[in-house]
Amino acid sequence: MIPTGFRALPLPLAQLSLAAVLQCGQSFRWYIYPLLSNAPTSGISVPTHEYRLCLRDRVVCLRQSSDTLFYRSVFPGATPSSRSLSEREAETLAWIKGYFQLDVDLADLYDQWAERDPVFERNCSQRFSGIRMLRQDPFENLISFICSSNNNIARITKMVKALCQHYSPRLATLATPTSSDSIAVTETYHPFPPPSVLAAPDVPAALRMLGFGYRAEFIHKTAKMLVEAHGFGKPDEGGLEPAEKWLHALRGVSTSEAREELLKLMGVGRKVADCILLMSLDKREVIPVDTHVHQIAMKYYGVGGSSKGKTAMSPKLYDEVSSKLTAIWGDYAGWAHSVLFTSDLKSFASYGLPSPSPSPSVRTKKTRHSKAAVELVTPPATQTPPVAKRKRKATVIEEAESVVITETSKDASALPVVDEGLSMADRVKRRRRIRTSSVVSVR
DNA sequence: CGGTTACCGCCG
DNA sequence: GGCGGTAACC
């Protein structure tokens, strides 16, 4: 049985688990709504949640059962204009296939990882299936992970959504899936703002007010650097600003070259750069090393020092941990790392999955993430609104400018020349130079 | 160069 | 006190 207005895409849970993937700290912009639990239908599984993401021109809505992904998209404006409904749903389906990278057979990868790695086989291969890497928009990914330092999933999610609400015009206002006619609960949906908007002079102060802390300046400076380096001309035919196109083009260059470019941006260190490489720039072998991954590496793989002393994460240590884990898992190491990482979060107990029996040291961290995930599934209507979030009237679907989404530009042309053979120290020096000169040139 | 320290805000 | 870090400073 297909939910009203949805289309069905056959897809086993082993290939994709929305409940896991959309809450494990890759994207922070999905809205998650619990559905009213219907009477237990005999045998067949029924979706328990609806997931929504606001793109440039539409809101994508997803539900999932044990063997099917249900999707539909909602457009602003009263009547579907030029293109037909089926044409637009075809676009949405194409976006889904790209965003979730459904051409990659995840079951195959799990088999390979289990074969290469006993730890993976024992801890993950059965219990945590369907965890795959999203292919996100690079600019959104960049800004989101600048927010991630000294932070947790729940707060990052709040910050990113507040940023969209504040800096992006509302695309649509929709009733939440569970709201009845008498009690209309609505949500406003805003796309992620483009670089030029975040490069405006008043952004740092405003973001401070929104609770971004020291990250406010990072975001502003990074957006400004990108805009000044690549132009703030308005979108091309694909709806992307020059700076966004440039970021997209990093998909076509080598991992090390792309990393060097990212490291020039303010607020982007090695870990954040690696997250972007892995999650939006197609560098699937890259393993971002944070303290949590470091713990896992020491505990399960004897890599990166002993698990007793708390060693600071030096660049040398980072490289050691990252490269050794990449060696273990191979070509798709970054994807495997995501499974390991997610499996170490106890947050999925609430989805009926059996939790592993962890050691005390790891359990501490699980508690924290568990809480984060619980907050995530709370219906937005009951959440404490961000400081600057205004309550809106319960109107339904407003109009807004409509732009065609493109997740397609993949050419690597027009990239700046990157020096090879520089040491890390040289790169840092150069970055400081660029940052300084950038500030000076601001006038 | 490799190691420290402050940083914004929120939570245990 | 400490967090899924980074920039700035010895």
What's the pLDDT tens digit per position in A307-321? 666 678 899 999 999
Report the pLDDT value the prediction gives residue A79, as an integer from 0 to 100: 61
Cβ–Cβ contacts within 10 Å for residue A18, how many?
A: 21
Between the CA of A150 and the C1' of C2, what is the distance in angstroms?
Answer: 9
Nucleotides of C under 7 A from a protein CB: 3-8
Q: Which are the contacts of A195, defined by CB distance < 8 A and separation ≥ 6?
A: A139, A223, A226, A227, A232, A241, A243, A244
Q: Look up residue A411 and give its amino acid.
A: D
- Say if CB A173 and CB A395 are below 8 A apart: yes
| Residues of chain A below pLDDT 50 | 347-430, 432-443
Query: Strand B closer than 7 Å to the CB of A150?
Result: yes
Strand A59-64 and strand A49-54: the pairing is: antiparallel
Other C-beta atoms closer than 10 Å to the C-beta of A220 total 23
Distance from residue A384 (CA) to nucleotide C2 (C1'), in Å? 24
Residue A422 Cβ under 7 A from any strand B atom: no
Write down the pLDDT at residue A357. 37
Helix/strand/coil percentages in chain A, nearest 5: 45, 10, 45
Question: How far, in Å, CA of A213 to CA of A371, rounded?
Answer: 22
* Phi, psi angles (nearest 5°) of residue A173: -120, 120
Distance CA A51, CA A32 (A): 5
Residue A57: name the closest of A75, A84, A71 by CA. Answer: A75
pLDDT at res. A234: 73
Task: Estimate in Å the CA A431 to C1' C8 gap, whole number.
Answer: 13
Angle CA(A423)–CA(A426)–CA(A428) in degrees, nearest 5? 110
Of all nucleotides, the one whose C1′ comes closest to residue A313's CA is C5
Residue A170 Cβ < 7 Å to strand B: no
pLDDT value for A335:
97
First-last CA distance in chain A = 61
Q: Cβ distance A129 to A14 under 8 Å?
A: yes
pLDDT of amino acid A401 = 29
Task: Output the pLDDT for position A151.
Answer: 93
Tens-place pLDDT, residues A183-195: 789 999 999 999 9
Catalytic positions of A, written as ranges:
271
For chain A, the structural domain boundaries read 362-440
Q: Can you say how many angstroms the Cα of residue A159 is from the centroid of all Cα atoms in its chain? A: 13
pLDDT of residue A309: 63
Residue A378: C-alpha distances to residues A174, A213, A230, A341, A391 (Å): 17, 25, 40, 23, 18
Provide DSSP, A302-328: --SS-SSS-----HHHHHHHHHHHHHH
> What is the rounded CA–CA span in Å between residue A217 and residue A40?
51
d(CA A73, CA A379): 20
